[in-house]
Amino acid sequence: MTEYIFAPLNLVARAAGGWFAFVSIDSMPLTSQATGKLISFEGSEGSGKSTQIARLVTHLQQSGREVVATREPGGTELGERIRDILLHKDEGQGMCPEAELLLFTAARAQLVRKVITPALARGAIVVSDRFLDSSTVYQGAARNLAPGPVDAVNGFAVGGIMPDLTVVLDVPTEVSLARVRQRSAGRPDRIEREDAAFFQKVREAYLQIAQAAPRRILLLDGTQSPDAIEQQIWAEVEKRLG
Ligand code: Z5A
């Protein structure tokens, strides 16, 4: 017998044989049981997520809503410590892809339970700079981990919480790398040091997941002007918030 927990939102079901995850991302309802909404932003680095999140947060606040902006990895004390290991600390050098996946998802599990779920229960709009799609794309597609285990660990970490809307900002890899080079003064972090082929896989994987989940994912051309992108995001969010 299969038992659904937090139905209809959860991705993890308990079956006779134990725990397993099934991630049918596009089949998630657009409205969650809680009164709040979760909006995630995804894309290659330098795709403009932070820029657009700041603008969306302003729109949402001006419309009188409670907004919780957060980021991955991070957003909790534990998550920020994990972020440091993943991106900056010497201990992170030579990390195997499996450990990398588990660290990103550990930070996610904590964020979901300590920040996102309580905020959604209060009716807030949570805007997250990256969420589970980043693991699908970076650890799955770019690090070549098998999709089954990545989906299973992701499903376990989010415990049924899925974005109501995901904005993917698509930019060609050379644009992404040029923007990051122009911006960063210091030493690039561990993932920024990957080569162009890695970031090309990231881009292609985002395009694939956007195609596979068109109801949840709003795919936008990130090379447009910041103002044009902002308008398209706000139009979609307003429509979905009703
Ligand atoms: N990662 C992972 O592997 N697995 C996971 O599960 C998770 C994450 C959750 C986190 O890095 C790293 O962790 C990330 C994926 C991995 N590594 N990579 N690559 P992060 O949080 O430090 O950084 P990021 O998420 O990659 O984003 P970013 O580098 O901070 O960039 P952004 O937020 O997308 O872009 P931005 O800061 O808004 O803009 C970048 C520059 O472009 C800036 O100078 C802007 O002024 C400019 N910009 C922005 N929009 C435009 C437009 N429209 N036109 C022209 N210029 C623009």
Mean pLDDT of residues grouped by 10 in the chain (242 residues)?
29 32 38 79 97 98 97 98 97 96 98 97 97 98 98 97 98 94 80 94 98 98 98 97 86
- Which residue, chain included where needed, has tokens 């959860």? 10
* Structure tokens that stand for 101 in this block: 């996946």
- Positive/negative CA dihedral, 99, 83, 154, 166: negative
* Spacing, Cα 147 to ligand 1 middle (Å): 24
DSSP state at residue 206: H
Q: Whose CA is nearest to atom 6 of ligand 1?
A: 135
Residue 33's pLDDT is 54
* Structure tokens that stand for 240 in this block: 């979905």
* Spacing, Cα 209 to ligand 1 middle (Å): 18
Residue 185's pLDDT is 67
Residue 157's pLDDT is 97
* Spacing, Cα 47 to ligand 1 middle (Å): 6
Q: Parallel, antiparallel, or unpaired: how do β-strands 12-15 and 67-71 relate?
A: unpaired
* Spacing, Cα 44 to ligand 1 middle (Å): 6
Q: At a CB cut-off of 8 Å and minimum separation 6, what does 54 contact?
A: none
Nearest atom within ligand 1 for CA of residue 224: 53
Nearest atom within ligand 1 for CA of residue 132: 6
Q: Which residues line ligand 1 (CB under 6 A)?
A: 43, 45-51, 72-73, 104, 130, 134-135, 138-139, 179-180, 183, 191-192, 222, 225-226, 229
Please give the model's pTM, rounded to 2 decimal places: 0.89
* Spacing, Cα 188 to ligand 1 middle (Å): 12
* Spacing, Cα 235 to ligand 1 middle (Å): 23
Q: Whose CA is nearest to atom 39 of ligand 1?
A: 48
Nearest atom within ligand 1 for CA of residue 73: 9
Burial classification of residue 90, based on how many CB atoms lie within 10 Å of its CB (0-12 exposed, 13-18 middle, 19 or more buried): exposed
Helix 173-183 to helix 196-212 angle, to the nearest 10 degrees?
120
CB 202 within 8 A of CB 134: no
Nearest atom within ligand 1 for CA of residue 192: 19
Q: At a CB cut-off of 8 Å and minimum separation 6, what does 149 contact?
A: 101
Residue 29's pLDDT is 39
For residue 231, which of 64, 71, 56 has the smallest C-alpha distance? Answer: 56
Report helix, strand or coil for 10. Answer: coil
Residue 113's pLDDT is 97
Q: Whose CA is nearest to atom 49 of ligand 1?
A: 48
Q: Which residues of 152-182 are buried (b: 16+ CB within 10 A; e: fewer)?
A: bbbbbbbbbbbbbbbbbbbbebebbbebbee
Residue 34's pLDDT is 73
Residue 28's pLDDT is 40
CA distance 176 to 184: 12
Residue 231: C-alpha distances to residues 64, 107, 136, 217 (Å): 18, 31, 28, 16
Nearest atom within ligand 1 for CA of residue 169: 34
* Spacing, Cα 169 to ligand 1 middle (Å): 10
Q: Whose CA is nearest to atom 23 of ligand 1?
A: 45
CA distance 236 to 216: 11
* Structure tokens that stand for 173 in this block: 């890899």
